[in-house]
Structures are given as C-alpha cells and as structure tokens.
Structure 1
Amino acid sequence: MPIDPTLIRAIAELGVPAPLPSNDPEEQRERAFAYERAVYPYLGPAGPELPIREHVVPVSGRPDVAVRLYYPREPAPELRLPACLHFFGGAFVQGGLHHPSVAAMCALRAARADVVIAAVSYALAPEHPFPTALEQGWAALDWLVREAGSLGVDPGRIAIAGQSAGGNLAAALTQLNRDRARHPLALQILEVPGLDLTRGAGERVTDGITEAELAPLGTAVDRYVPRVEDRHDPRVSPLLAQDFGGLPPAYIFTAEVDPLRDDGERYAAALAGAGVPVTAMRLLGLPHEGGMYERVSGTARVAQAAIAQALRALHDL
C-alpha cells in the first residue's frame, strides 16, 4: 500500500524539502530541527500549556541526564499520579526535548491521560555511543521510582514509552529493569521501534521506500553502535533477547511504509509467545514518522487516541 495520499499532498503543499544527511552530526541535527520547525505546526497538533519541572539526574560513570516532567495540573506530592518515562526518536543522533513534535506530544499525552510525562533528554551519538543513552535511561527510571513521592508520582503505576530510536531504548530498558531491579513497570508503549540493529537495509521492508531513504538507517547504527559485535547485545537489539518473560504489557505501533515495520511486529510476536499481554497496531498508509501528524491523518489520530487510552488505564490499577 502506498503512503496515504492525503499526507503526501499535505507535505507537498508545504514545499519544504526533506533535510539532507550530513557527515557532521551537529549540522545534521540543525537540519532536522529546522525541517521539523517548518512542517510540524502544519501537520501535527500543538500541545497545551502545562506545568513543567526540570530535573538533572546523576548517572554513574556517564554524563548526568536531564528529565523534564510535564504535569497535567500543578504538581503536589499528594497527587500520586501515574507517570510515563518517555524517550524521543531521532535515530540516536538527533532530536531532543526542544523539538516541536516532542514537546507537543508530551504535553498532549499528559493532558489527555491525566498522567505525568517524564521526558528523558538522553545523550546523542556519535559523541555518546552505546551504552550511554541506555544507562541514562536506567538512571532516570531508578530516580523516578525512588523520588516518586516528592514528585507527585505513584511508583506502582509507571509506564515506559519511546518512539523510533526511543522505542529501542524503552524496550531495552524494560529488559534491563527486569534483570537489575524489577521496578514494577505497568506498561510499555513502543512506536515504530527499531529493535534489531544487526539487520542491514536489504533485510528490511522496502515497499515504497527508496534506497536514499534507507541509507540513513545504516549511518545511524554505525554512529550509535560502532563496534559491530555489540549489535548482537540485547541491550542494543532487544529482539535478540533469549528471554521475553516477565516484561510489562505492551502496546506496539508500526507504520506500514517503514523499513522498521517488521522489528515491531516480530517483537510483538515474541512477547506474546512468552505470555506477555500485547496489543499491536499497524498504521496503514503511514511512513515512519506519520503517527505524529494528527492534523492531516485520521490513522494518526486513532493511534494517538489509543495511546492516550492506554495511559489513562493506569489510573485503574
């Protein structure tokens, strides 16, 4: 199935060319940020103004990590709200909490589900390759559980979510948590995740995808995991884990026109085979980033409504 023509038309009418890749990571980040600033306000919804609190969490042996908390209302310790630790996307090398889509999505989910969204500003590759971002994520999770009372969060109702590269980190973190501490995670939400970084472009879904669109995938993996032998580590490729038991219930969203589609669908099958409750949704007609374009895609609106409903269900635990 081709990309949704409504989405194609909306992007074409903007007349903003997609950012070209660059060998300079900083230049690539600037191009990606400029592109998103130009297109997102027309394709995606704005987020509401919410109370925000900034925190810096120390990380053993790694750079400290900033965590931004989006509250659906003014925070107070007595609230004891559910929370969701969120990891943005960007192929491990770009993106961040300053991007319009990330800020809007975090605020929208906090408001729609009446939960605290704890967005992790993890370090980017190649300056900070694996395992820095994952260890920062672990420190953020451990901090969120330990400090839950003072943050107005219920430590028994915490979810983990991530988009694209952030979905990889979220999935890896659920496995790491199971093996290290077993903090009681209630839910994982993985959106268009890349979960097997050992696979080359030729081994992935290519329907409707050009070679030029596939090339950045290999570059991203090289920058995040420069040692090829490390790519078989389940902390890098969660799909290669030997054990999927004991992980939190999952919502997994894949996009039909996306080279990473099979990763999410295979992971859903692996979790289900291990007895983990899974809901999997393929977003028909959408490319990798299409799930955030709610202004122009009915499919994206359905997906985001499903995520909000999953997060609201944390209140019932």
Structure 2
Amino acid sequence: MDPELEAFVPLFPRADLTDPVVQRKHFAELAAAVPAPDTSGMDVEDHLVPGDPAVPVRVYRPHGAQGAVVWLHGGGFVMGDLDTEHPWAARLAGGSGAVVISVGYRLAPEHPFPAALDDAYAVLVWAAGNAGRLGIDPERIAVGGHSAGGGLAAALALRARDTQGPPIRFQLLNQPGLDDRQETWSQRTFTDTPWMNREKVAASWRHYLGAAAATPYAAPARAADLTGLPPAYLATAELCPNRDEDIAYALRLLRSGVQVELHQWPGTFHGSQAILSADVSQRQIAELAGALSRGLAG
C-alpha cells in the first residue's frame, strides 16, 4: 500500500453496512472532515428535477463551461447525498471546467432498484431538455460516478442506448460497482481491505437489489451487448474488490468497439482518494477531471 495512505487506514471506520442509518451518519462525518473546495470560480445552484418523486440536484457551473456531466455519488447504494458529495463534485467541476450536475438519488434499502436508476435517468432527460437554460451543449453531456455511482452511470449509459434516450458523449467511471455476482479474484480475495471489502460489497448489493432479480440495468457487467456505448474512462484501485470486474468491463467495451481509457492506481484502496494529503490522491482527482475535460472536448 502507498505509505501516505497506509498511515490513515486506522482512522477509517470498520467496513460495515449492517445498519444503513448508522453508516449514513458516519459517512456524513467523514465527508464533513474533507477540506472545503474552492467554489469562487463557479455558480452553485440547487434544483428539483421533475420525477416521481422529484429528484434533488446541485449544479456546479464553472464560468464559460459548455459540457456537463450527470454525476452520481458513491456510498454502496445506501449512503450519500448532495452534501456528502459536495467536496468531490465541486473539485470535479473546478478541475474539468465542465458543469457538474450532482444527483441526490433515492437510497436503498428504503428505495431498492430501480429507484436510483430512475432518478438518474430523469436527471439525464432534464439536463438534455434544459441545456439552453443550463448553458451547456446538449451534444456534450457525460455520465459519471464513483463506486456505486459509477455502476449507476454505466447502467444509465446502457438504458439511454437501449431506449434511444438523450445522447451521452462520455462515461467517467471511478472504481464502479458493476457485478453483483462477486466471482472475480479481487472480490473473492479482498476480505479485509480498508473501507470496502467482500462482505460490505455483498451487503450493498443485498440492500440495492432487495427482492428484485439482477438485470444489466442493476449490474452492468451482466449486459450481453456493450456495442454502441459512449467512450469510457475507468479508474481502478489496486486493493479494491471491484478492481477485476472493472478491468474485465473495460476489456469487454474495447472488444465491442468502444474507445476506453483504463487507469489502475497502484497502492490505493477503494475511496482512498479522499485522503487529500497523499500525492497519489491528488493525481487521481486531477486525472478524473482531465479525463472528463478530454471526453467532452471536440
């Protein structure tokens, strides 16, 4: 493990999703401890997107932005909101120069699949339909997210392709959760890794799926056909249970004719980019912003 990260491992809470309500509190406390981002070069506004029910979003609009990303927070499908994602959404907007539309989607287990995906799709449709008001080019809308949010973003790209929904320019997938089956080497082996391990991943999928069967819109790795999807950037952490399914998904995208950039970060663990004092974390965050900027360019 990267020595700058290893020093912080004892400070992370135990990887556990047994009680989602308690874990949401801990997650919010961790997010509150992150140094505040600089938002002086952008406008930040909250909106309610029409839906059933309405979906809260926070829009970060850097001055002069043209492209946008519908951004989905992490938290194992059960944690996170607009406030916990604020440090990361603002940094992504500032670093990329793109409008970031952060989505406060409904959480499991109270709202299992497909609630979160329905919320994300409603925001994608809203963003495309209100591009003029948002000051963005409707042909330059990406989807992206971290962890569970990355899995939701991949599912959103599949759904938009299958339903002839709004065109998606790019996918930004950071350590995404893509496969409920947990059959890869990293899923079977990483039983005691920091923050995210095999059992926490299993609990996250149990909460998210509820009584529903896993479909490609819940677990994108189950999709038989990946052709026609937008170009993608996938980032993985070395000590992350999701690592191998993410690499496998990137390879399948490539074999399906989809342009892919894949970055495997050595010495990192799931979510370790939150440790901002580490050089590797700074590079990860800058790379995500750069990938988004490149993906929306042209």
Q: TM-score, normalised by structure 1?
A: 0.86
Structure-2 residue corresponding to 1:76: none
Cα displacement (A) at 1:95: 1.2
Q: Return the match for 2:72 from 61, 81, 87.
A: 87
Give the distance between the partners of 1:124 and 1:208, measured in 2 at CA: 25
Q: Kindly report which structure 2 residues correspond to 1:4-19, keeping only aligned pairs within 5 A, or say none.
A: 4-12=2-10, 16=11, 18-19=13-14
Compared with structure 1, are the counterparts of its residues 190 and 20 closer, same or farther at alpha carbon in structure 2 (3 Å cutoff)?
closer
Structure 1 counterpart SS, 2:137: strand
Cα displacement (A) at 1:48: 3.0
Structure-2 residue corresponding to 1:71: 61
Contact 1:19-1:31 at 8 Å conserved across structures: no
Unpaired runs of 5+ residues, structure 1, are 74-78
Cα displacement (A) at 1:315: 5.7
Q: CA RMSD in A?
A: 2.3
> Is 1:96 aligned with 2:81?
yes
CA radius of gyration, larger in: 1
Structure 2 counterpart SS, 1:150: helix
Q: Return the match for 2:230 from 248, 257, 263.
A: 248
Q: Return the match for 2:266 from 284, 297, 313.
A: 284
Contact 1:200-1:218 at 8 Å conserved across structures: no
Equivalent pairs counted in the alignment come to 296
- Structure 1 stretches of 4+ moved >4 Å: 200-203
Give the distance between the partners of 2:189 and 2:18, measured in 1 at CA: 24
Compared with structure 1, are the counterparts of its residues 193 and 314 closer, same or farther at alpha carbon in structure 2 (3 Å cutoff)?
closer
Structure-1 residue corresponding to 2:19: 24
Structure 2: which amino acid aligns with 1:6? Answer: E
Compared with structure 1, are the counterparts of its residues 210 and 144 closer, same or farther at alpha carbon in structure 2 (3 Å cutoff)?
closer
Contact 2:65-2:98 at 8 Å conserved across structures: no
Cα displacement (A) at 1:153: 1.2
Q: Return the match for 1:46 from 18, 34, 37.
A: 37
Structure 1: which amino acid aligns with 2:73? Answer: F
Q: What do the CA deviations read for 1:124-176 (whole angstroms, capped 9, x no partner)?
A: 00110000000111110001001111111110111111100001100000000
Give the distance between the partners of 1:273 and 1:57, measured in 2 at CA: 36
Compared with structure 1, are the counterparts of its residues 315 and 64 closer, same or farther at alpha carbon in structure 2 (3 Å cutoff)?
closer
Contact 1:209-1:258 at 8 Å conserved across structures: no
Structure-2 residue corresponding to 1:168: 151
Cα displacement (A) at 1:306: 2.1
Structure 1: which amino acid aligns with 2:199? Answer: A
Cα displacement (A) at 1:47: 3.8
Q: Kindly report which structure 2 residues correspond to 1:1-317, keeping only aligned pairs within 5 A, or say none.
A: 3-12=1-10, 16=11, 18-19=13-14, 21=16, 23-38=18-33, 40-41=34-35, 46-49=37-40, 50-59=42-51, 62-73=52-63, 81-99=66-84, 102-199=85-182, 204=187, 206-207=189-190, 209=192, 213-227=197-211, 230-231=213-214, 233-296=215-278, 298-314=279-295, 316-317=297-298
Give the distance between the partners of 1:80 and 1:91, measured in 2 at CA: 30
Report which stretch shifted further, 241-250 or 198-207: 198-207
Contact 2:60-2:93 at 8 Å conserved across structures: yes
Cα displacement (A) at 1:205: 5.1
Identity value in percent: 34
Give the distance between the partners of 1:200 and 1:264, measured in 2 at CA: 12
Contact 1:47-1:103 at 8 Å conserved across structures: no
Compared with structure 1, are the counterparts of its residues 227 and 34 closer, same or farther at alpha carbon in structure 2 (3 Å cutoff)?
same
Contact 1:18-1:35 at 8 Å conserved across structures: no
